[in-house]
Structure 1
């Protein structure tokens, strides 16, 4: 049985990360050129995206363990297991797997991170995390 208290705590954290990223995304003053030049904002976005992705993985791993689903072989596979078990939609799977790969870039190749990619994810892909969160809430809270 899924620990609802722990899951609620993780969802609360994820909500905060999304809110923080949305504030920057919606700030018209932060254009791509400014984002490239503003090291503090860029690093804040990178770290907050990293925390958000880690949180999605923690949530998924917690559900998988508590429900005794197949053990994932990688971070990317966490989302495959959730899709196989009908916790997330097949439409969400590809985007979430890309997030897991992106997390590896943030953690392991941080010196090679392209600011344009980070900016693009900020502007276009927060909805993927929000959709994931909504699917988890619908299934468990």
Structure 2
């Protein structure tokens, strides 16, 4: 059985990261130029994306361990295991697996990150993480 207290803590933390990213993106709206030319903004967005991805992976790993699902072979596979067991929808799988790949880029190839990719994720990728949170909550966190 999933540890409700731990899961709620992790989901709250992930929601905080999402909120911080939305705030930087929307108040006022950030431009590609700001991501390219303002290293503090770029680094904040990169690091917060990294934290959000790590938190998403951690949530998945905790569910997998607590529910005794098969052990994932990689970070990408964490999301496949969750889909196999009906925890999250298959529609999310591809985008979440790309997110896990992006995590590897942030951690291992950080010097070559294209600011355009950061910008696109900021504007197009947060909805996938928000949906992930909602699907996890719907399955494991009673109202």
Q: Taking structure 1 as the reference length, what is the TM-score of the superposition?
A: 0.98
In 2: Cα distance, 1:30 partner to 1:50 partner? 19
Instruction: For residue 29 of structure 1, report the CA deviation from its aligned partner.
Output: 4.7
Equivalent residue for 1:8?
8
CA-atom RMSD in angstroms: 0.8
Structure 2: stretches of 5+ with no match in the other structure: none
Matches within 5 A, 1:30-69: 30-69=30-69
Aligned to 1:108: 108
In 1: Cα distance, 2:131 partner to 2:29 partner: 27
Runs of 4+ in structure 1 off by over 4 angstroms are none
Alignment: residue pair count: 141
Gaps of 5+ in 1: none
Q: Distance in 2 between matches of 1:23 and 1:80?
A: 30
Deviation per CA, 1:30-69: give whole Å up to 9, x if none: 2111221100010000000000000000000000000000
TM-score w.r.t. the length of structure 2 is 0.97
2: CA distance, partners of 1:11 / 1:84: 21
